[in-house]
Amino acid sequence: MCGIVGYVGKKDAVEVLLEGLKKLEYRGYDSAGIAVIIDKELHIRRSVGKLCNLEENLAKNPLSISARIGIGHTRWATHGRPSEENAHPHTDSTKNIGIVHNGIIENYVELRSKLEKNGKNFKSETDTEVIAHLIKKHYNNNLLNAVQKTLSELGGSYALGIICMNEPDKILCARHNAPLIIGVGKGENFIASDILALLPYTREMIFLENGDIAEITADKIVIKDIKDNNITTREIKSVRWDAMQAKKDGYKHFMLKEIFEQPRTIEDTFRGRIYPDEGKVHIEEVKLKEKDIKKISNIYIVACGTSYHSALVSKFLFENFTRIPTEVDIASEFRYRAPILNENILVVVISQSGETADTLAALRFAKSRNCQTLAVCNVVGSTMSREAMYVIYTYCGPEIGVASTKAFTGQLTILYILALDWAYKRETLAKNELKTYLKELWEVPVKISKFLKNTEFVNDIAKLFAHKRDFLYLGRHVNHPVALEGALKLKEISYIHAEGYAAGEMKHGPIALVDESMPIVVIAVKSKVYEKIISNIEEAKARGATIIAVANESDKEIKHKSDHVIYVPKTDEFVSPLITVVPLQLLAYYIAVLLGRDIDQPRNLAKSVTVE
């Protein structure tokens, strides 16, 4: 979604703002702009399209001298089409106030008509411009006070960066249901909606909470409560990510880099948490005691997109190992289906970004029903990680590619560890079984690395099928969700229509789609349902389908049943999704490259969907 940056200090503010916005491009946007103050005058430059258009605009309309304070924004249109007038920053009619905003002001129509009745002229179709006019209306030589009064009138969500030409040395920022971070520097300070924009300058960060408002100068940061104006202290966190991680490291695309990072990110995620030889699991951050775990009557797992697919895999893990009834919901559906919730129910939300609006709404709904809540997130300090009762982080580092890859296997790693740990504590798993499964997980990174040593043959298969219009992906049991995930990867980066199905469903409809033009990707690793999958392959072959099978290296039969086989190392079937998903990620990637798609920023998509 949108991206916010802000700077105050000794550097050239325009340079810092543009560098910060570039780090946020991966979030998806359709216009961009900056506002700076020079000699108590507000200067704004905005452009539609990519950041290079904004740089061109600045070159054509240069600023007189370097600015030392400013705010910037990349916009992903929600209210008002992508246009220069609708691009942020927005100002009041006297160009005294400059503002950038992430989120949605839900009562902006009513506020706007009141302001228009009082003679205010609007230049844009956005909800954000309303905020600029309101601040101006309340301004009486005290920006903090004017902003507080304005915020008391707003409904909806916001992360704001505000500058004012009458108070040219400070940035005001505030947040409600949209992330905002302060970067703490020496003789300079920053704001951003995302860690990545701050990493080139500082790793010391303050994650603002809902209801925080902060006044920032080059040397001072004062955080207050929006409502009662009391000073609030917030911890300065040192963020582990470094700027290098956020670079491509020589890979053509972030997505490819992140696929190849998976052996390390899985290891980073389980290191210090599992001890196979001792049969021990140590999850520092989840303070669920044995008696609490025994008290859990049901688990609901709620997520969107790829995170929903890891949730579907985890249902098999929790029910098979812990014997706790587990349901999985698409986040945007969960709170509308009147689920039966109470204090004995654990609601797990899974979210790479920790900011997905529907998943966050589901979390809040669960909290309002007194459920215990656990967030599985990849972004430290994200809203879900701070609002859930417990949080456990996947240590995957920044996932830049819009198509989620390493976050998926990181989530599966966490869910596998939790299921094993709770099963042992609920005495549904014996110590020796625990050791066996932990060992299986421990060996996954080596097995993925082995597979990733030679992926050219996946590219060869991609070349044969890149021109196809439709794909089917089939899987059973824990690999049914992997079939869904493989189909999602293909459709979201290549724009080819792809559907994932439970293989057993073929006879109930999808087999009518099958003919010579239809490639079918089938996950056929050794498992208790292997024979069934083989018959599904034979049914499809009999109707002319082309079969691309993902199977174990030891499988000598599969090549006689399929047109192409992608071999992967054997694992225990419950661990197999961590491995079977990798060839599907690569197949989607190579096809999309052949089609010349925008791999890391596919059309219409954003990395984090922070609006419902």
Q: Which residues are catalytic?
A: 2, 607
Minimum CB distance to ligand AGP, residue 338 (Å): 23
Q: CA neighbours within 13 Å on the CB side: how many for 312? A: 21
In the complex with ligand AGP, which residue's Cβ is closer, 306 or 536? 306
User: What mask of x and - would describe binding to ligand AGP in positions 491 to 530, judged by CB under 6 A?
Assistant: -x--------------------------------------
**Phi and psi, residue 239, nearest 5°:** -85, 130
Distance from C-alpha of 596 to C-alpha of 555, rounded to nearest angstrom: 35
Contact by Cβ (8 Å): 76, 609:
no
Applying CB under 6 A, among 89, 161, 179, 305 the residue interacting with ligand AGP is 305
The count of C-alpha atoms lying within 13 angstroms of the C-alpha of 514, restricted to the half-sphere facing its C-beta, is: 23
Here's the x/- map for ligand AGP, 468-497, by CB under 6 A: it reads as: ------------------------x-----
Instruction: Out of 71, 105, 304, 448, name the contact with ligand AGP by CB under 6 A.
Output: 304
Binder to ligand AGP among 74, 351, 373, 413 (CB under 6 A)?
351
Min dist CB 380 to ligand AGP, Å, is 14
As measured in angstroms, the least distance from the Cβ of 68 to ligand AGP is: 35
**Considering the rule CB under 6 A, would residue 380 count as an interface residue with ligand AGP?**
no
Q: Are 261 and 364 in contact (CB under 8 A)?
A: no
Instruction: Look at residues 165, 32, 154 and name the one whose alpha carbon lies nearest to residue 98.
Output: 165
Nearer to ligand AGP, 262 or 306 (CB): 306
What is the token pair recorded at 138? 């309340």
Residue 37 or 584: which CB sits closer to ligand AGP? Answer: 584
Does position 91 interact with ligand AGP (CB under 6 A)? The reply is no
Q: Which is nearer to ligand AGP, 54 or 606 (CB)?
A: 606
Q: Which stretch binds ligand AGP (CB under 6 A): 190-198, 316-324, 332-340, 353-361?
A: 353-361
> What is the DSSP secondary-structure string of 525-579?
-SSTTHHHHHHHHHHHHTTT-EEEEEEETT-SSHHHH-SEEEEE----TTTTHHH
Q: Is 402 in the site for ligand AGP (CB under 6 A)?
A: yes
Per-residue burial over 37-47, b = 16 or more CB atoms within 10 Å of its CB, e = otherwise: bbeeebbbbbb
585-590-592-597 Cα dihedral, nearest 10 degrees: 120
Q: Tell the smallest beta-carbon distance from residue 555 to ligand AGP (Å).
A: 29
Longest dimension (CA), the chain: 80
State the amino acid at position 416 in one-letter form: Y
Of the candidate spans 300-308, 457-465, 542-550, 566-574, the one that interacts with ligand AGP by CB under 6 A turns out to be 300-308
| Residue placing its CB nearer to ligand AGP in the complex, 165 or 239 | 239
At residue 288, what is the residue type?
Answer: L
Nearer to ligand AGP, 86 or 608 (CB): 608
510 upstream amide cis, omega within 30 of 0: no
Site string for ligand AGP, 404-443 (x = CB under 6 A): x---------------------------------------
Cβ 490 to ligand AGP shortest distance, Å:
11
Dist CA 198 CA 212 (whole Å): 20
- Given the rule CB under 6 A, which residues bind ligand AGP? 304-307, 351-353, 356, 359, 402-404, 492, 608-609
